[in-house]
Chain A
Amino acid sequence: MKVIGKTESKERCTEAGWYAYDILLDEDIDEEFIKNLKRFGSLLYMPMLKKPFFKVESSNYLLKGMKGEPFFRLAIHKDYEELVENIVQDING
């Protein structure tokens, strides 16, 4: 799965000093992709939901999204914005 785009999210994470981006993928997110995100931090996965939800948290950023969607949200602390590109590159392998 590859990242094909990145847009600034309208969500108001900035209220707490965080910036958010929607990371667009070339395929819908599947379970394997979600489980592989563990490498970025602690994973919360709720597979029983009608649309399964996941969240990966580290101290300076978090990723969250839904299985079956071609995008996820990446929120990052304003002091660590440079990590956005590292995460994108990591996902692209």
Chain B
Amino acid sequence: MIYLNQAATSYPKPQRVQIAHAASLSAPPVGQYRSSLTAEKDIFDTCRENLGKLFGIEKDSRIFFASGATEASNVLIHGMDFLQKHVVTTATEHNSILRPLLNRKEGKKYTTIVGCDGKGRVDPKEIEKGIKEDTKAVFLNHCSNVTGMIQDVEAISRIAHEKGVLLILDASQSAGCIPINVDEWGVDGLIFTGHKSLFGSQGMGGYYLREEIALKPLLYGGTGLDSSRIIYYEPPYEYEVGTQNTPGIIALNEGVSYVLERGIENIKIKEQGLLREIYERLAIIEEITLYGSHQTNKGPVLSFNINGLNPSDVAYILQNGYNIVIRAGLHCAPLIHQYIGSEAKGTCRVSISDLTTEDDVEAFLSAIKDIVRSMG
């Protein structure tokens, strides 16, 4: 099988991730603060430290684990008390951001959604226009999971801070394949998932929040710390409650270690090279509509359509006729399609990882040429 649906979940994982994950299931359980068993190193803090290195976060103790980006965004949106407070976000967002924001009480009234251009770029000036006097935060998708457009985080961060507004960055699609510098860019909160370019397992992700920002927990429960404290009248709060997903954290740590050792720049260059090949060779096929270009869309994701064919049919033909897996539809990011011109049926999305090969790309391009030819 040729798997080009890496933006959903990466596959395969580096061998070291597979080995570490499997080994964790046959080893005595290591629980954060909960066991007299001690590992050589605390995997929780080791993973935080590695994530901090990768994301440019000095205070890595402010990185918290969650089941993924969706849980992380809900923790931040509900815990930072944005209920009936105005926020700005963009049409490029995934439903993991849109739904928690818009399903707040009167969420629609308190959310301004800024549009994007035909390739998914958000103009920082439009963000500025969307900020009102009572705006509390900007929620920004770093890399579109539909077009691969990377937003100008530094410019948007400057604007947000000039207006006294927090910037929360969703790095689900960029973490592990595009450089991220949280401290340098002035990002106040970061949402990430572990199962995409960080090569962890599904059900693992997390968030970072600057220490000075108040956050009430969304969940309460056992933490292994200070068990006699039952009611939390004031900080410090604890955010990782219940038995943690230790095998998931071990796998995530191995994935992050792989990325750090391989080098984020090397991964970026390799992926952009493969994407450039796909963009250039699809662009010369008259029957294909592309939603971006290699000059402007630098994330590991590309959207296209074959004119006259439904994207779901293209995906079906690729999967059943060529054993190639892509994704078709709206990709859980429904609003961007109104701006890029694919609102009727969505797009076909190809997404790659550091482990995608040139042969995979060749097989995909050859299958697409076959499909177009057969439409005759």
Instruction: Give the residue of B316, B370, B374, B376 whose beta carbon is less than 8 angstroms from that of A73.
Output: B316
By size class, the interface of chain B is 10 to 19
A-B Cβ contacts below 8 A, count: 41
Closest B residue to A51 by beta carbon equals B321
Residues of chain B lying within 8 A (CB to CB) of residue A13:
312
* Partner pick for B313 among A16, A48, A64, CB 8 A cutoff: A64
Does B317 contact A49, Cβ atoms closer than 8 Å? yes
In the complex, residue of chain A having the shortest beta-carbon distance to the beta carbon of B314: A53
Is the CB of B153 closer than 8 A to any CB of chain A? no
B291-333 near A? 1/0 per residue, CB < 8 Å: 0000000000000000000101100110011100000011000
| B370/A51 in contact, CB under 8 A | no
B22 shortest CB reach to chain A, Å: 26
Bound Cα distance from A11 to B311, whole angstroms? 13
Residues of B within 8 A of A69 (CB): 320
Q: Are A53 and B373 in contact (CB under 8 A)?
A: no
B330 touches A15 (CB 8 A): yes
CB within 8 A of A53: which of B313, B329, B330? B313
- The A contact surface, by secondary structure, is mixed
In the docked arrangement, what's the CA distance between A44 and B192, Å?
A: 42
Tell whether A50 is near chain B: CB-to-CB under 8 Å: yes
* A interface, CB within 8 angstroms of B: 11-13, 15-16, 44, 46-51, 53, 55, 64-66, 69, 73
Would you mind naming 16 contact pairs between A and B with Cβ atoms under 8 Å apart?
Answer: A11-B312, A13-B312, A47-B374, A48-B374, A49-B374, A50-B370, A51-B317, A53-B313, A55-B310, A64-B313, A65-B320, A66-B317, A66-B320, A66-B321, A69-B320, A73-B316
Interface residues of B (CB under 8 A from A): 310, 312-313, 316-317, 320-322, 329-330, 370-371, 373-376
